[in-house]
Structure 1
């Protein structure tokens, strides 16, 4: 079974889990909120997929949104940190989420899609579990920005086999997953959103 991250990535994240939140910037709460606002249904049930220690969940909580996302990840170390921080967690593969079709209102994937061994499958699975009018919100790194080029080199040096996309390219992947895409923000850390078409 393909893991949420590549096998080497999971081991890496298990090792750095205790330091991860000190090393990574906060998730862009305003952009995530704008992505969730693209939904055409009430957003109360949210999955923070490949959510690690719960950075996106914390950002949404700071915004005062009445949601308590479930953090889904494959790294036991990262989930232990998320659980210790009070987040509900599920250990699962992003390519095979233990959620029924249309079972949630939104999925957020923050700074993690590039680690998935099959990002297209991960997006299709996210689209599957989101109900009509709900959204898949993705925050990623722009590989053509100066900082983005440095990040690409750094991840290769660590041994990650990461894939990065421009916002336009990622919107094309969201469209291929059956979602209606939109760019929410651009730059080094950008956000795109895909909405599940409404029924009828």
Structure 2
């Protein structure tokens, strides 16, 4: 799912990830989830690392998908189900999820269009994809882009409008429930 260099970094950093990363913006995540047109009982957190995003919501089934084995080990240690896979090739049946989360991860994904298409494929009708990202057009966003490239990441960031267009192209009805440096784009499957 992540570009090869990014996966290697997350493998090395996995044991310390929870200590150094900011917590998930639970309010913004819930604003995206509120757009679902069905009850949310089964959620997959794509590129979810340790599962910090999916842990903020209380649903019966929470699954973390990540390419970094070390990150999945941490997610499992925290009580979550974890699957090592690429976001552009999810190991789930068609229409098997009520929600797909991609939080602070899409900018690391090598095949972004493929990951959005897979999210669409696994969503049930009325289900919602919720993407949390960072706006490269903001001052903080430009600084983040520079910092991630300095570290060696192959990150590609988007504006909310660019990500919403990608979600629409994947076949979902897109909305932007929150804006700013950190923003949310949600897509509902009809």
| Structure 2 residues not aligned, in runs of 5+ | none
Q: 1:90 Cα deviation (Å)? A: 0.8
Deviations 1:52-93 (A, max 9, x none): 011102222xxxx33442011010010011111111111111
Show the counterpart of 2:77. 84
Show the counterpart of 1:140. 133
Q: Following the alignment from structure 1 to structure 2, what is the Cα–Cα distance between the partners of residues 130 and 37?
A: 15
Deviations 1:64-123 (A, max 9, x none): x33442011010010011111111111111010011110111100000001000111100
Show the counterpart of 1:110. 103
TM-score (ref. length: structure 2):
0.97
1:43 aligns with 2:40: yes
Show the counterpart of 2:25. 28
SS of the equivalent of 2:158 reads coil
| Structure 1 residues not aligned, in runs of 5+ | none
With 105-114 and 27-36 compared, the bigger mean Cα shift is at 27-36
Deviations 1:133-180 (A, max 9, x none): 101000001111121111100111111111111111110000000000
TM-score (ref. length: structure 1):
0.93
Show the counterpart of 2:178. 185
SS of the equivalent of 1:71 reads strand
Show the counterpart of 1:167. 160
Q: 1:124 Cα deviation (Å)? A: 0.4
